Amino acid sequence: MTSDKLSRRGLLHAGGGLLAAGTAAALPASGAWAAPAPAQRPDRAATTDGSTSGGAGLPTRNPLVAQRADPFITRPVSGMYYLTGSVPEYDRIVVRGASTLDGLASARERTVWRRPTSGRMGGYIWAPELHRIDGRWYIYFAAGDSDQPFRIRTYVLESAAADPRADAWVLRGQVTTAWDTFTLDATTFVHRDVRYFLWAQSEPGIATNSNLYIAEMASPLAIKGDPVRIAVPTLSWEVQGFRVNEGPAVLVRNGRVFVTFSASATDHRYCMGLLTADENADLLDARSWTKSPQPVFGTNENTRRYGPGHNSFTVADDGETDVLVYHARDYRDITGDPLFDPNRHTRVQRLYWNADGTPSFGVPVGDGGTVLRLSPMDAPGAYVRHFGYLLRVEGNVREVADSQFRLVPGFSGAGRVALQSVNFPDRYARVDGTVLRVDPYEDSDAYASAASFVQVRGLADRRATSLRLSDDADVYVTHDGNGRLTVGRPGNRRVDRERATFRISPDPAD
């Protein structure tokens, strides 16, 4: 056994995965992609924290920003992204800006407002959101009072400056609603030339901690008309610890208005749900909204992401690819009140779309480099996925995480790669006879050989890639044309070489 094998297996056995830093070194000089790919380009190689900025410019660093809960990242404004969120001290509002999403990680953060030392708004400061409306900036945030920190109400700041980091913010006061009760997590959006306000509140007479409400806005500072209740926590996953619907975020796509929201206590039980309305419906009619019966995003023990939620949406650096922004912890057990555990970190990952136009969130992605999907050339629009741990080729994969992988250093020596499952990161693609499976790592020569491949330029297209078996230069991973992934000798026929050639799309750009 070589020292390379020993060090690789020792790392896996100790940590259950591979650092993305090794990915660039593992790929051969004749790697497959002509387009920039962070796993291949030496000048864009992953660092030890797993950070890159590849594909359409979506960072793979995880987290993007530590200890920033309830994260809100704007879409680019004059070429700049801006990020705000709750700080662990709950005492101030911060904003950072950068020209790329990845740049937010190291951008200087500025405090734009601090709570007063006493009285109104002198308590907890929660969940700020930053919005550009009619040439001005607005921050909607929740604040308690100094003597009653949980007497949470919604307030708004306004700035006429072009840069929201500038010292130009003016407090405009409370956004009043129908009841003077616990109110938080306000957001705003425009649809069909109407600006709406969407928020969470405790309504008198309803035995919940918070429900979701929508109203039209008279101005960026006030609503008009009566609030419309569109969601109440009643399902089992919404009432764990607390009866909560909060943290709404809006995305209008594919003929529908989608509202994600968060539910239950802020520990590992925290999760995200989804409301949907037709884009032509009256959004102020509660009957227009349908709640999905199951959560769309939640804790994943395999990736070690706990309590994901309070999300927002932005786009990748290409200006088109939808990006999910959220917070999550990387451990389950918390001492004391989870609200005061500081390690809810800001994370980003691609938001996918199903063939029927509905969003596909996948799982909260764990540590590592660029997330990839593989599509054989003979089946455009279909992807390699695992089902029952057997690798297949399918179209319209709704369980998007089953089709996500990482190329990491192989186990049988230099110049080899392994294909790691994203949602089962302890499993790697392995040849088993004539089929491929994703099986747990084993510290053996047999596993090392069966789970290691040589990545070469595509047999049918040099811009794509082919995966050759590590111990047989003539045998490749191939699609049999009937949805099965197998191995074989492609020969010289064009159709056979296409079946052994895969387009690898780096997340987020397919």
In DSSP terms, which residues pair with 437 in a beta bridge? 390, 430
Other CB atoms within 10 A of residue 455 CB? 25
362 contacts: CB under 8 Å, gap ≥ 6: 349, 352, 399, 400, 401, 404, 422, 423
Q: With bands split at pLDDT 50, 70 and 90, how would you rate the model's confidence at 288?
A: very high
- The amino acid present at 21, given as its one-letter code, is A
Q: With bands split at pLDDT 50, 70 and 90, how would you rate the model's confidence at 35?
A: very low
d(CA 416, CA 429): 13
361 contacts: CB under 8 Å, gap ≥ 6: 272, 296, 297, 324, 351, 352, 400
| Average pLDDT estimate for 425-448 | 97
d(CA 139, CA 228): 23
Express each pLDDT in 315-328 by its tens digit.
999 999 999 999 99
How high is the mean pLDDT of the chain?
89
Other CB atoms within 10 A of residue 306 CB? 24
63-360 topology per CATH: Tachylectin-2; Chain A (2.115.10)
CATH code linked to domain 3-49+369-506? 2.80.10.50
Tokens at 125, concatenated: 């400061």
Express each pLDDT in 140-172 by its tens digit.
999 999 999 999 999 999 999 999 999 999 999
| Average pLDDT estimate for 225-238 | 97
Express each pLDDT in 328-372 by its tens digit.
999 999 999 999 999 999 999 999 999 999 999 999 999 988 999
Tokens at 131, concatenated: 């919005």
The pLDDT score that the predictor gives to residue 57 is: 67
- The amino acid present at 481, given as its one-letter code, is G
Sign of CA dihedral 343, 346, 352, 357: positive
d(CA 111, CA 289): 37
Q: Please provide residue 339's backbone torsions phi and psi, each rounded to the nearest 5 degrees.
A: -60, -25
The pLDDT score that the predictor gives to residue 22 is: 33
Please give the full DSSP string across 92-154, using - where no structure is assigned: EEEEEEESSTGGGGTSPEEEEEE--SSSTT-S-EEEEEEEEETTEEEEEEEE--SS-TT--EE
Closest CA relative to residue 32, chosen from 331, 417, 482: 417
Lowest mean pLDDT among 39-48, 221-230, 487-496: 39-48
Closest CA relative to residue 418, chosen from 387, 442, 382, 388: 442
> How many residues appear in the chain?
510
50 has pLDDT over 90: no
- The amino acid present at 94, given as its one-letter code, is V
The pLDDT score that the predictor gives to residue 61 is: 85
| Residue 232 contacts residue 203 (beta carbons within 8 Å) | no
Tokens at 492, concatenated: 């010289």
| Residue 256 contacts residue 276 (beta carbons within 8 Å) | yes
Kindly list the distances between the CA atom of residue 280 and the CA atoms of 131, 255, 289, in Å, as whole numbers in the listed order: 24, 8, 12
HSE of 452, CA atoms in CB hemisphere, 13 A: 24
Active site residues: 70, 246
26 has pLDDT over 90: no
d(CA 7, CA 233): 50
Whose tokens are 């990482």? That residue is: 406
The pLDDT score that the predictor gives to residue 506 is: 67
Domain ranges (residues) in the chain? 3-49+369-506, 63-360
| Average pLDDT estimate for 177-182 | 97
